[in-house]
Amino acid sequence: RGGFHQGGIVGRAYSPAGTITISDCYSIGRQSKNDGTDGGVGWDDAPNRINGATHIGGIVGIFDSPQGSVTNCYAAGTISNFGGTNTIGAHYSGGIASRVTSGSVSGCVALQTSIASVLEASTHRVRGYVTAAAPLTNNYANAEMAITLAGVSAEIIGVGADSDGGADVTLTDAKTQTFYTGLGWDFNSTWTIKAGAYPTLKWE
């Protein structure tokens, strides 16, 4: 199990004076163990699940790069924010990112079936922590995703392609190339997709 900042790809991406780009990647939540404070991923025995503490995102835990971006990525599985030993303070969870302090998120898709936190937290389908300083553009989320806070089912808020909740997409549509090409994903040289499955990278 991981530390304070957990993501399916990157735990913490921080460059206040530089540019960080996270693009054309995906995570299904089955990750290797990392015990560091800023771990790349969380870990759990069960498949397709990210477990962590404090800040958990399906792709990145915390993203802070004024000119940077997270683009054309998706995450699937489940997220569980168990709070760790830090039971006081902020706990954020998001299907793509837990917190984006600066930079942007666009063309991303959160396909988790559920996001759960044992503490009341800033939790949304795409980005957990809400801030106007980091714009969101054309992002989507599983229309059937369940969010629970402290064991209680929570209302899905901030729904919209340019909002923290993302626009609705069905899991059926999320397994079609047409949906992703509409987001600007490159299926000529970067991505490929099989019938009834989520996209994978051509180099795999």
- Return all residues near 4 (Cβ < 8 A) that are at least 6 apart: 37, 38, 53, 54, 55, 61, 84, 86
* 3 state DSSP class of 139: coil
DSSP character for 127?
A: B
pLDDT tens for the 204 residues of the chain, in order? 445 678 889 888 988 888 999 999 999 864 322 333 333 443 333 444 454 557 889 999 889 999 999 999 999 998 887 655 444 445 788 999 998 989 999 999 999 999 888 765 688 999 988 777 789 999 999 999 999 888 888 888 889 999 999 999 999 999 999 999 999 999 999 999 999 999 999 999
| Cα–chain center distance at 192 | 21
